[in-house]
Structure 1
Amino acid sequence: MIEVRDLERRYTRRDVHALRGVSFDVEAGQRFGIVGESGSGKSTLVRLLAALDKPTAGSVSFQGKRIDTLPERELGFLRSELQIVFQDPMGSLDPRMRVRDIISEPLGRRDPARVSELLEAVGLPADAAGRYPHQFSGGQRQRISIARALAPNPSVLIADEPVSALDVSVRKQILDLLASLVELYSLTLVFVSHDLGVVRHVCDRVAVMRRGEIVELGDVDRVYDAPEHEYTRELLAAAPNLRAELARLRGGDDG
């Protein structure tokens, strides 16, 4: 599905080497996690996977076709096949648009039936279609972002820190929602996070990044239970226990 080979990205003006020799494969139907601290190169990698930037060296292929060398006019197929859910839904949703128009935007036309289907799929009521983003909670706005990403029937969903700005109870709901939607729509998921605990909840394979390099790559249970790299062990030690946090909470939230 996705093949990354010897990927490099240097920013000469800032003298930054954001990615160094990054290689991995994401198979169709896989839930692939990319984890690392701020500055590890995760965001740069996401931009290259989505062909929003060009690598300095190396290649990115999607469904057997190189995308890193294609001009924007030839990337139309990728814009529908690969969609991104961003960290900050309020920043990625146009506050002037009603939800029905936000969800319909990737389709290029209004489709009330599709909007209703997607609102139901993400757990929002039908009357949400006529409201504006500021009328929802943070968790609900992220559900709207997910619905918009699903609108063009993508085969790959990239979730870029989709729960890091949410309360812990809402985080669990959104993570469970993503997992169920991956199954429902037979999606390939690329899940980006700074938290290995969250990645384990969602993914079956993980790449651990540090300073632009992948320092560990493998099945998530193996990486979690028997990490080989010292940096992975440090991340695990610093990761909050999601289940423990949830167990301490009482009541729910409107996520």
Structure 2
Amino acid sequence: MLTAVCEDGPLTLTALSGTTGLTPPTLLRTLRLMRDEGFVVQDEDRKWHATILVWRLGCAVNDSIGLHRITDRVLRELAEVIDETVVYATFENGWLTYSGQAEPDKPVRTHIPLGGHYGPLETRTGHAVLAWLTRAEVDKIIEAQATTAYTPHARKALYQELLDVALRGYASGTGDRWPGVWGAAAPVFNHRGQPVGAVGVSIPTGGVPDNGEAIAAKVSAAAQQLTVELGGPAERPASPLLAAAVHRRGPARAR
């Protein structure tokens, strides 16, 4: 009930009954107990919603668990499984900051300096995030950050790549920033289904590793695990870019 009120509220008793499957008498009895404890309140329009107390408790839980602690654990587990360097990049205000890293215990590995500030156009982690933005948001980033002029052909190629990323669920390949390094990355989402970062792997190789798809799938699973542990959706949300492409061209052509 509290989850429904927090995520879908404000809700009437009838709407809450439809969401939870509980009968109105059961709901009302429990809602009144939750109201007396300060967790919910009923507005003048008869709709129930959570109070600021729930938000305060959420902040306290986040402080006690720690975003970095959760991220570091997921990265360590992923690094142990694939035996390669993995990172977490935070996405904020159109830029990526590498805030977490786990490295394997072997002499040949990549190392990504933490705190690095990069544009999403030039990295696999960036493309993983861009694929879940709107076209207007992607255009804004291009206009603000592109170091070279984006011709119509280059822009079209980028859009197509991002659509492919959205279909696969992850970005992969090599880039200009780190020549000789192959990477794969998948987005992490907040409770509203918005991309807030990406989990990525970097492998020092001249091309695509033989097990590249398997590695990318593990990276994608780790990103989804981190999403859920940080309060995001249990299923990866739909990409606005992909949804718009399907609407414009139809499902067959969009694929």
Please give the TM-score of this superposition, normalised by the length of structure 2: 0.30
More helix by share: 2
More strand by share: 1
Larger Rg: 2
Q: Which one scores higher on RCO, CA 8 angstroms, separation ≥ 6? A: 1
